[in-house]
Every structure is written in structure tokens, then in C-alpha cells.
Amino acid sequence: MLNDIQEVLYDAEQIQQKVKELGEQLSRDFNDRNPLVICILKGAFIFMADLVKNMDIPLELDFMAISSYGASTKSSGVVKIIKDLDTPVEGRDVLIVEDIIDSGLTLSYLIDVLERRNAKSVTVATLFDKPAGRTVDLEADYTGFTLPDAFVVGYGLDYAERYRNLPLIGILKPEVYSK
């Protein structure tokens, strides 16, 4: 699997260190707020798991699945809820945990949905950001790493559902796409 990676952008140790810092910062900022932490499936599942292990405060978890790219590497611009939350968000401090922001379309749609459901506050933590891809005006409140405008895999992120289990984040070799 590692054979298919052209360049490692951040290795497992660098990611773990950053996630620890983010978790500690979020623990301070969400202390006594019992946040509803929402994992955006599937990409954010590893980040969410590592992040909440570094949050030493009371919190609740829920999961939401949103369609974005399918098997392609380009955003379709079509956003759809595949799996909705089990928990009402009304009056809650909501923390969205996202893997990566590219165009920003997915998140702007999601923030809109949660605000219309009367969340008390909506905060976004993303591990990765590709600001060059942005088509809507949106910034995360917490960002781990800013990445170049390349398609990346690992640490939850996939190409055609593979590579999610790599503990690092990297750029695929171009020949992998043409297989």
C-alpha cells in the first residue's frame, strides 16, 4: 500500500502530535459545554477517534454521512445526507469533526442544516485544509494542517475506498488512478 504513495506529507507521529494539540485546545474551549461532537463519515472516523481520546471533558458523539465525491477525485457539488444524526441538535453546542475541506461545499451545506435545526453554536474542526480548492467563503474554526492542492489519501481519506487505513497522509502516484 505504501508503495502507491508518491510523497508522504505528514507521517503518523506528526499527525498524532497535532491531534493531541487540537484535542487539548478543544477541551479548554468546550469545558462545561457538553458538546455534541459530530463525525462526518467516512473520512473523519480516525480523526474523530484520536481527537476525542485527547479531550478530557464530558461530551457526546454522533455520526453523519454525507455524499461528496463517490469514487471520483473531483467534487460533484451535489451534497446529500446519506445517514442523519440520531441526536437532536436544538440548543446544543455542536462540534463538526471533518477530515478535509476542499471546495467548502459539503461543510457550508452542513452548517446550514445544523443552524436551521437551531443548534446553539456550530464549530468546525478539520484536520486538513486545501484552501486553493475553495469555491465558497468558509474557514474552519480549528485546522490541523494546510495542504497543497493535491488529492491526498490516508488517515481516513480514501481513493475508491482504499488507503483509509494508512496512518499517514500522502499523495498517490499518478499511475494508481489509471489502474
Residues labelled as active-site residues: 102
Q: Which is nearer to Mg ion, 69 or 109 (CB)?
A: 69
Give whichever of 91 and 174 is closer to Mg ion, judged by the CB atom: 174
Find the DSSP H helices in the chain.
12-29, 45-53, 105-116, 174-177
Q: Considering only the stretches 14-22, 83-91, 112-120, 155-163, report the one whose residues sit in contact with Mg ion under the rule CB under 5 A.
A: 155-163
Minimum distance, C-beta of residue 62 to ligand XMP, in the bound complex (Å): 17
Residue that has been written with the C-alpha cell 455534541 in this structure: 36
3-state SS assignment for residue 104: coil
Which residue in 35, 87, 39, 38 sits closest to 58, CA to CA? 35
- Binding positions for ligand XMP, rule: CB under 6 A: 43, 68-69, 75, 98-106, 151-153, 157-158
Rounded-to-integer distance, Cα 178 and Cα 174, Å = 7
Among 4, 29, 62, 158, binds Mg ion (CB under 5 A): 158
Smallest distance from the beta carbon of 58 to ligand XMP, in angstroms? Answer: 27
Q: C-alpha grid cell for residue 10?
A: 505528514
Q: Which residues bind Mg ion (CB under 5 A)?
A: 69, 158
